[in-house]
Structures are given as structure tokens and as C-alpha cells.
Amino acid sequence: MPSVLPLGDPAPSDGLLPAQAADGAARRAFGLYVHIPFCAVRCGYCDFNTYTATELGGGASQDAYASTAISEVEFAAKALKGSGLPDRPLGTVFFGGGTPTLLPAQDLARILTAAIGQWGLAPGAEVTTEANPDSVTPESLRLLAHAGFTRISFGMQSAVPHVLKVLDRTHTPSRVPQVVQWAREAGLAVSLDLIYGTPGESLEDWRYSLETALSYGPDHISAYALIVEDGTKLAAQIRRGEVPQIDDDDHAAKYELADELITAAGLGWYEVSNWSRTPGQACRHNLAYWRGDDWWGIGPGAHSHVGGVRWWNVKHPTAYAGRLANGVSPAAGRETLDAETRNVERIMLEARLSSGLEVAGLGASGRHAVAGLIADGLVDPAPAFQGRLVLTLKGRLLADAVVRRILPD
């Protein structure tokens, strides 16, 4: 089952935010995340807050979900206004899941239209939906593009059938080039998501998946190491010895191969696990997360952040729908981050970006650590001498260790 929600303080039923949330808001970008919690099949590695039709209890309906999500859009606009936040157009909108495209394209368009009606879209706004390759048609993609979507991220994961089988993915590899072509014809930018380190995946399997994905000419690629979460089907299979354990050295070798091949194909890394063909094709919604901008998360289990206030919705679609039907916030809890915590999170996230972070913004111990990081080959010396800490390839492999060395004591 999906992981538990974090602990936090009670969230007010009216959704109003403390005064600090409005401080400096006019200088921060504002985005919307829309969680669609439905999947046709639960993948064996998945720990997200998603549900198949057989897991949904009474009162949770895919048919009614768009209307429920629109109710939260309206609630969010009222809460932000009541909290003294300035009017800001949406710079990014991201539909994730789950499988957003399990809903009819008309429903996704309705939610987006409602959001635009409340906040408007900034010029050149990025509007993305995730999709499984077997959950779209040429018609649905054209409808999404007409509604204002600009980008689609396909969960390709692998081009190797036996790897897809271990991951419980339902599409066939031959479907991916077809849906990429359909998306292009609809005028959508295309990202492909890949996973490496699946039990039983050889280095040559991974090379084949990378070369296959790159042959489709995507604008963006995400490549994530498989993490085995407790409570998942895959964790149980590993525990029983049915599939091999995850191997850190295998992950490192596959990351190095990914960076080599993706870079050679003309895409550049901008975050440890993400590459884009041009800087403008980087996922701006995810960059907003990593840079600490504001976003409201719509949907069960969705997380939000505005001005150092973070909150999360109740997890189950039935409870989520019930709260909104009663006119109260769907938030299960929230926390208000102090300046020290926000600074730590800023360092942890900005260190993962190719733009790096300002050395001057580190504490004394962090600034002192930079010389050692350069000597260990973890930080690029040229930008460091100009005042920015940027990870080398080796540093990206050991990003968590780098962060530990530069965090305040």
C-alpha cells in the first residue's frame, strides 16, 4: 500500500495560511500540481498514493473525480485570496499520478480550464501530464493540446520486455515510438521516463533501453534508480529471494552509462536525474520544487508549499471527496518551516542542479568543505572558483554525501 503521510500540526478547516506565507510571494513563481490517483494495475515497485478500481471503496469514483478536483481548485483560490496572497498566474501545471490519462481527456481539460479560470496562465506557461504509453490515443492527445497542455511525460521505464515484466508495466515496447509520434503530431513536447537497476536488468539491457529511447528524439529524459520501498510487491519478492537484491555498484555503472549516452545524443543534465535537449526544455515545474517556489497540490495525498508552509491532503479518494463536499479543507496536516530548515532544504535541492548553489550562501563549515570536495573530484573547480558549487559526474553519484559535507553543523 502507499506510504503513510508525514506527521504535522492540525490544518485549519478553512485552509487559510499564516501571514508568513504571503511574505515575498510576488517574487515567487506559482504552480499547480494535480494528482490523479488511479492506475489500471499497481506496479510492483510503486509506493505512490494510487488505487486500482478494485481498491476503491464506496464514494470514490473516477467518473466524479474531475468535479471533485475542480472543487479543490475553487477552494484553493478562495483560501489563497483570504490569506492575503497576491494574484499570480500559473507558471506551470503538472498532472501526475497514478496515471492521469486513465481519466478521459475531456476531464483533464475540465480541470485545467477551471484552474486557468481561477488564476490564468503566465505567458509561455508549461502544462504537463504524465501518461502510460497504453493510455493515450491520437484523439486524446489532440484534445489535451487544444485544451492548453504543452508537454507529455511518458512512463517508458525500459525497452526490454523481461524488465517491464518485473516492474509490472502493462505496455509493450513497440507502443512507445507510436505514442511519441502522436504527441509530436499534436504539438506536444515529449519527455521519456526511464528506470534503471531493476532486478535482472543487465548493463546491456540498460544500454539498449537508453539507445532505444534516444532514437525517438525526446526533448527530455528522466532516468531514476529503482528504489525498493517497504511494503511493495517488489520488496516482498526480494525478501523471498524470487528476484535479486538491488546493487549500488550496478546503479552507479548504469548512471554513468546513462550520462554518457544521453550527453552524446545532445541532451545536457540540469538535475542529477534529468536531462533536456535545451535549457528551455527542462521541466520547469520540477525546477520550481527544487528552487522552493510556491505550488498548490490538488488531489488525495497531494502536497503543497507556499512561503515556507507545507501541507498534505488526506490520502484516500473517498475521504478527500467527502471533505470537499462538506466545504472544508482536504488537508490532513501541515508544518511551518523555520528559516534554518528552509536553508537546509535549499542546500539539499540546489546542490543537485547543474546551476549549482552559491558558496557564499553556505555556513562557515560548508564553505571550508569546498576545497576538500574539489580535491576529492566531487565539485567542479572552475565554477567553484567563481563562487558556485557544481557537482562533477562523480559528485552526482555521491550527491547525498556531498550535501552532508556542506550542511551546517
Q: Which long-range contacts (CB under 8 A, 24 or more apart) does 142-146 make?
A: 142/185, 142/186, 143/105, 143/106, 143/109, 144/105, 144/108, 144/109, 144/186, 144/188, 145/186, 145/187, 145/188, 146/109
131-173 pLDDT, tens digit each: 999 999 999 999 999 999 999 999 999 999 999 998 888 888 9
Domains and CATH numbers, the chain: 19-290 (3.20.20.70), 339-409 (no CATH)
φ/ψ of 331, rounded to 5, equals -70, 135
pLDDT at 368: 96
Residues 117 and 109: their CA atoms lie apart, in Å, by 12
Strand bridging mode 30-36 / 90-97: parallel
246-279 pLDDT, tens digit each: 777 999 999 999 999 999 999 999 999 999 999 9
Strand bridging mode 331-336 / 388-389: unpaired
Q: Is the full-model pTM beyond 0.85?
A: yes
